[in-house]
Amino acid sequence: MTKGKTKKKSGGSGVLKFSLYILFILAAVLFIRYFCLMRTVVEGSSMEPTLNDGDNLLVDELSFHFTGPRRFEIVVFPDREQGGYIIKRVIGMPGEKVEIFEGSVFIDGNLLQGDTYGAEPMADAGVLRDRAMLLGEDEYFVLGDNRNDSVDSRSEGFGAVRRRQIAGRAFWRLLPAWHFGPLKRS
């Protein structure tokens, strides 16, 4: 029989490892929440039929640090007057001239192709009734999909949205469960 010393395991090292594990998980969750993803809820009917009142969305904030919005993406930006967030679709890109004529959007004098989101022609061109809007190098023209019931870039006091105002792009619907899944861009 061999005599030897047995090492007594310290209960403290297991607790320390577990605590570090929990701290790591908490740090990862906080990083994802504050720098990568955000959840928001649709309020109102301005994005119907694509999004409905009460839909819960995930918003990608991280990729906006590397790429800007693309035409027809759904973007989210803070509502400066009422708090919360505004959800709209990008229609006009930086440097473009946007016009609305007979209910349709024209970009740089050409009818916007691929705009299948607005269900019906716009009854009101808003501030673009008598003029075009020339977007700056960091400005985007946004519209709700429910074009005749949306406060958007056509509206007095709303105007173009600056790049730095945009929090991210909506990419996934969480609720209602029967619509769970990715949001289509085009």
SS3 content of the chain, % helix, strand, coil (to 5): 20, 30, 50
Give the 3-state secondary structure of residue 85. strand
Alpha carbon 131 to its chain centroid, in Å, reads 28
Active-site positions?
46, 88
Q: What SS3 state is found at 133?
A: strand
| Backbone angle region of 130, left / alpha / beta, with phi > 0 → left and psi within -120 to 50 → alpha | alpha
Q: In what order do the strands lie in the sheet with 110-111?
A: 110-111, 104-107, 97-101, 133-134
Which helix (H) or strand (E) segment holds residue 30: the answer is helix 11-35
- Amino acid (one-letter) located at 135: L
Question: Under DSSP, is residue 64 helix (H, G, I), strand (E, B) or coil?
Answer: helix
Rg (CA), the chain: 24
